[in-house]
C-alpha cells in the first residue's frame, strides 16, 4: 500500500517535471489531446497538489504542511527526476504524450493505493 502511494507521488512530480521541460523548451502543451490550456493545468496541479494526497496518507502529516514541503521538492527536484527517467526509459521525443501517460499512471496507482 505504501509503495503505491510513493510511486503515485513520484509520477505526479514527474508529470510536473515533464511540463516544466516542455515549457522551458518552448513545446506547446496545448497539443495534449486538444484540450486547450488543459496541459498547463494538468502540469501544475499534478506537481503541486496531487502528490500531497498520497504523501499525506503515507506519512500521516497535516495536508497543509505536506503541501508546503512538497512545493520546493516539486519545483527543484521534479525536473531532475524527469531528466533521469527520460534518460533511462526513453528519448523524450513525444513529451505531451509522456506527460499524459505519467499523469494517468499516477492516478491509477493512487486508486490502487487507496483500494488495498
Rounded to an integer, what is the distance from CA 72 to the centroid of its chain? 14
Asked whether 1 and 116 are in contact (CB, 8 A), the reply is yes
DSSP state of 34: T
pLDDT digits (tens, 9 = 90+) for 77-88: 888 888 888 787
Q: What's the confidence (pLDDT) of residue 91?
A: 61
Residue 39 has pLDDT above 90, yes or no: no
Count the Cβ atoms, other than its own, within 10 Å of residue 69.
14
Q: How confident is the model at residue 106 (pLDDT cuts 50, 70, 90)?
A: very high
Share of the chain above pLDDT 90, in %: 43
What's the pTM value of the predicted model, to 2 decimals?
Answer: 0.86
Q: How many CB atoms lie within 10 A of CB 7?
A: 18
Amino acid at each position: 500500500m505504501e509503495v503505491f502511494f510513493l510511486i503515485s507521488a513520484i509520477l505526479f512530480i514527474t508529470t510536473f517535471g515533464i511540463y516544466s521541460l516542455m515549457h522551458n523548451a518552448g513545446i506547446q502543451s496545448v497539443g495534449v489531446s486538444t484540450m486547450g490550456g488543459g496541459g498547463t493545468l494538468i502540469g501544475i496541479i499534478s506537481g503541486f497538489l496531487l502528490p500531497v494526497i498520497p504523501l499525506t496518507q503515507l506519512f500521516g502529516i497535516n495536508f497543509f504542511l505536506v503541501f508546503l514541503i512538497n512545493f520546493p521538492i516539486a519545483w527543484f527536484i521534479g525536473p531532475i527526476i524527469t531528466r533521469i527517467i527520460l534518460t533511462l526509459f526513453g528519448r523524450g521525443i513525444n513529451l505531451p504524450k509522456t506527460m499524459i501517460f505519467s499523469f494517468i499512471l499516477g492516478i491509477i496507482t493512487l486508486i490502487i493505493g487507496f483500494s488495498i
